[in-house]
A and B are shown apart, each in its own frame.
Chain A
Amino acid sequence: MQVEIGYRPAHSMARVMLQPNEAVVAESGAMVGMSTNVHMQTQSGGLMKGLKRMFGGESFFRNTFTAQGAAGEVLLAQSLPGDMVTLDMTPNGYFIQSSSYVASTPNVNIETKVGGFRSFFAGEGVFILKATAEGPGQCLVGAFGGIQELVCDGNLVIDTGHLVCWDSTLEYSVGKSGAGWIASFLSGEGLVCHFRGQGRIWIQTRNPSEYGTTVGRMLPPAG
């Protein structure tokens, strides 16, 4: 599978080029367009798996697109404005913020995990995805705003609302950002993720829930 990302960074769209009989799995609703020989199949992967995905903040269903008989292409986009990036699968795999997942090669196994984000008011990140694959594969993730890759060399502290994905070689723990709870509350930083070890972290330059809250509270109550 070959991926070309256009219209970056604000309104990125991925063009996935499939070889004959090659397939790509994508988040429900991500398809923008496709060749007519591409066959779409909707699957939940079983009721429990589907439900678990729903709790994880994704949709119940995922779609598999297969190019039948000849090469074909699928165009994919996320719902929010922002950049996308293709991750080449590594032996250890990645943790992905669930709303950032867009698509992956069929050999990538996506598991929904409790993020260890103990707090129920975290907004994001109560559930995260773990992407692993035997052998080479790719995963497409999307961000709200720009994507910046940071190299963690020891210690980094990142606001949970700005996380997109990270190498699963990194150890992480979620906690308050300041010295105490009052300071953390006043600092406005909410929950942060402390990373230890070596690896890469992709962050998004805007925080979707913060943006939504800010614009939302200027709107009249929905009726």
Chain B
Amino acid sequence: MENPQMPGQPMPAQPPPQQQPMPAQPQPQAGPAGGAPIAHEITHGPSFAMLRVDLQPGQTVIAEAGSMVARNQHVDMEVKMNAGRGAGFFAKLKAFFIAMIRKVVGGETFFVNHFSAPQPGSVWVAPTLSGQIAYRRMNGETLVLSSGAYVAHSGDIDLKMKFGGLKSLLMKEGAFMLEISGVGDLWFNSYGGIHAIDVNGTYVVDNGHLVGYEGNLTYTMKSAGGGMMGLVASGEGIVAEFSGQGRVYIQSRNLSSLVSWLTGIMGG
């Protein structure tokens, strides 16, 4: 990492605990918006994290298609296309097209599985790549995740697929971002460990390491060293410069670096 400065959070010397420190969670009250937080446990972090969600009758957890490891037999699984809650016909059509484009572009399709239990039951979920899972209780704020980072959610949460615009095409990842808002539980994953950075002012993050950021932050894409020379020679490629006040999540490894390393040794 080119910038040794870590405002907000010191780099953990020890392997981080199963869960990153998160903003204080609200105490479950009688009928809070988005439902009470769902009982869950994240195990086997930071390298091979797996999430177990313990469902009570009436609770539903929604997870990315294909991520289920195991479930109790009586836990119902229903596959749905994620078009956002209460989406109209055109919104659904749009979601369908985005799902198809993403399939072609090489992302996952955006089908999700709804798990619910008529009697208490568990479902175990794990991402494909090695890495950590983080939990965050959403309280009405907006979080933008890179599209591969989504694991699961519950409650009154809206997921919207966002095309990052032309500038995002410069980046290998992140042409599609996932905008998450509402009240409820959210689980997301990283390739490598998840590191939270509390930005107050500005901060620069390598694009391939970006997991997500809070919606009140703004960013601009730029070359790390400034200009073409910096872009080509520094090996850092495109970076995102965030400004404002809010949290950025980064991952300690970068998938495109692994892929280009493998590509290099496979060549010839």
Contacts and interface: CB of A to CB of B under 8 A. Distances in A.
Interface of A: 9-10, 81-82, 145-146, 148, 150, 154-159, 162, 177-179, 183, 186-190, 194, 203, 205-207, 210-211, 214-215, 217-220, 222-223
A141 to B, nearest CB: 16
8 contacts: A162-B69, A178-B77, A188-B67, A203-B124, A206-B48, A206-B128, A211-B129, A218-B255
Contacts of B74: 155
Given A146-B50, A187-B77, A214-B129, 19 more contacts: A146-B47, A156-B70, A156-B72, A156-B73, A157-B70, A162-B70, A178-B78, A186-B109, A187-B66, A187-B68, A188-B113, A189-B66, A205-B43, A205-B44, A205-B49, A206-B128, A215-B258, A218-B106, A222-B266
A189 B44 contact: no
Contacts of B130: 81, 145, 206, 211
DSSP class of B's interface residues: helix, strand, loop or mixed?
Answer: mixed
A211 B50 CA distance: 15
Contacts of A215: 129, 258-259, 262
A186 B262 CA distance: 30
B106 A10 contact: no
A219 B259 contact: yes
Given A210-B66, A220-B266, A188 B111 contact: yes
Given A146-B44, A215-B262, A187 B113 contact: yes
B70 A150 contact: yes
A156 B72 CA distance: 5
A221 to B, nearest CB: 9
Contacts of B43: 146, 148, 205
Given A145-B130, A189-B113, A214-B129, A9 B259 contact: no
A158 B122 CA distance: 12
Nearest to B256: A218
A188 B65 contact: yes
Contacts of B177: none
B124 A210 contact: no
Given A145-B126, A205-B126, A220-B266, A178 B79 contact: yes
Contacts, number: 118
B71 interface: yes
Given A178-B77, A218-B259, A205 B68 contact: no
Interface string B51-64: 00000000000001
B263 interface: yes
A218 B128 CA distance: 14
Contacts of A188: 64-67, 108-109, 111, 113
B131 to A, nearest CB: 10
Contacts of B111: 186-188
B262 A219 contact: yes
Contacts of A154: 73
Pick from A148, A183, A210, A219 the residue with the most CB of B within 10 Å.
A148
A81 B47 CA distance: 10
Contacts of B65: 186-189
Indicate the member of B64, B68, B78, B113 with the most A CB atoms within 10 Å.
Answer: B68
Given A177-B77, A188-B65, A159 B263 contact: no
